[in-house]
């Protein structure tokens, strides 16, 4: 009888310890939770990589958390999370260029019932991997980060030097002069269109002034003016024609005053002509 009593006491202690070591399934990392103190990431930046741990148990949770970039350890931190609370944790990271897979893992964890630490295994001990690509940071000759305009200018200089090396000066000089002539034509045409646009706008404004003056005339004079307009049908279409003319002048002004649009249209026209000639030769 005494033997059975001792076995019963042993089982109650062992089972009680085992049950107490269990923690709610929600305790651990919030699923997929990795974030940064600064985004977007840039090469050379010093950022903090964060995650958060939720403790759904009735006892405090002590955990050791390791952060990874793929298989490289970024750092390890210890954290204590009180019952029914969430706590964030982070490591510092100097960002490098290339592909990254950032994650965190709880490498050890324990709870403290009755002041004694008991090791526990958490079901949520891994975060999902956060995949990031960081481009190479281009720098100027003095070591400062290059802006977009610096990069574009550098590429233009490279292209220009390459073209100058490939195209002889006897060819490049006439091309440059022809380009300047086309640009002079564009500027002169744009100025002429602006002058026509202004004069057409003044004509339309004069129609509006006449219309406002008519509202102050007597009824008899209005009737006589209407009869005069009916007798001269050409005058009736002057105003709508002026609006149509102004509309097209605005379109042409937009084309000739904008270099990108102007030369883009020229390129499209040349492409269509070359394709037309090519098809004529191919199917002749």
Q: What is the pLDDT of residues 224-266, one digit of tens each?
A: 555 555 444 445 677 778 788 888 888 888 888 888 888 888 8
pLDDT, position 8: 47
Same domain as 128, residue 70: yes
More confident residue, 205 or 49: 49
Q: What is the pTM of this model?
A: 0.46
Strands 85-94 and 46-55: antiparallel
pLDDT value of position 10 = 47
pLDDT at 125 over 70: yes
Query: Count of domains in the chain?
Result: 3
Q: At what angle are helices 169-214 and 238-257 packed, to 10 degrees?
A: 150
Q: Specify whether 259 is located in the same domain as 276.
A: yes
Q: Which of 43-47, 50-54, 106-110, 216-220 has the lowest mean pLDDT?
A: 216-220
Give the residue numbers spanning the domain of 122: 22-134
What pLDDT was estimated at residue 17?
44
The answer to the question of residue 182 being in a domain is: yes
What are the tens digits of pLDDT across the range 15-68?
444 444 566 666 777 666 799 999 899 999 999 999 999 998 888 999 999 999
17 lies in some domain: no
State how far the Cα of 127 lies from the Cα of 107, in Å rounded to an integer: 12
Q: Is 70 left (phi over 0), alpha (psi -120 to 50) or beta?
A: left
């Amino acid at each position: 009888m005494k033997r059975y009593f001792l076995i019963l006491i042993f089982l109650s202690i062992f089972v009680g310890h085992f049950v107490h070591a269990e923690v709610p399934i929600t305790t651990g990392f919030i699923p997929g939770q990795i974030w940064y103190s600064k985004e977007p990431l840039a090469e050379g930046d010093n950022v903090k990589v964060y995650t958060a741990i939720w403790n759904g148990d009735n006892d405090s949770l002590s955990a050791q958390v390791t952060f990874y970039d793929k298989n490289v350890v970024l750092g390890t931190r210890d954290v204590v999370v009180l019952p029914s609370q969430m706590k964030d944790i982070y490591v510092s990271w100097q960002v490098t260029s290339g592909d990254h897979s950032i994650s965190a893992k709880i490498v050890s964890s324990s709870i403290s019932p009755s002041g004694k630490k008991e090791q526990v295994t958490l079901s949520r001990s891994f975060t999902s991997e956060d995949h990031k690509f960081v481009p190479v940071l281009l720098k100027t000759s003095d070591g400062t980060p290059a802006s977009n305009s610096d990069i574009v200018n550098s590429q233009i200089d490279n292209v220009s030097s390459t073209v100058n090396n490939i195209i002889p000066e006897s060819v490049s000089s006439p091309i440059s002069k022809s380009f300047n002539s086309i640009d002079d034509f564009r500027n002169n045409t744009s100025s002429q269109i602006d002058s026509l646009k202004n004069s057409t706008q003044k004509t339309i404004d004069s129609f509006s002034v006449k219309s406002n003056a008519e509202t102050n005339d007597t009824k008899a004079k209005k009737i006589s003016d209407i009869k005069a307009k009916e007798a001269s049908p050409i005058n009736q279409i002057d105003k709508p024609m002026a609006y149509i003319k102004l509309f097209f002048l605005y379109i042409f002004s937009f084309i000739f005053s904008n270099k990108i649009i102007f030369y883009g249209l020229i390129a499209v026209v040349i492409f269509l002509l070359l394709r037309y000639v090519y098809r004529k030769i191919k199917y002749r």
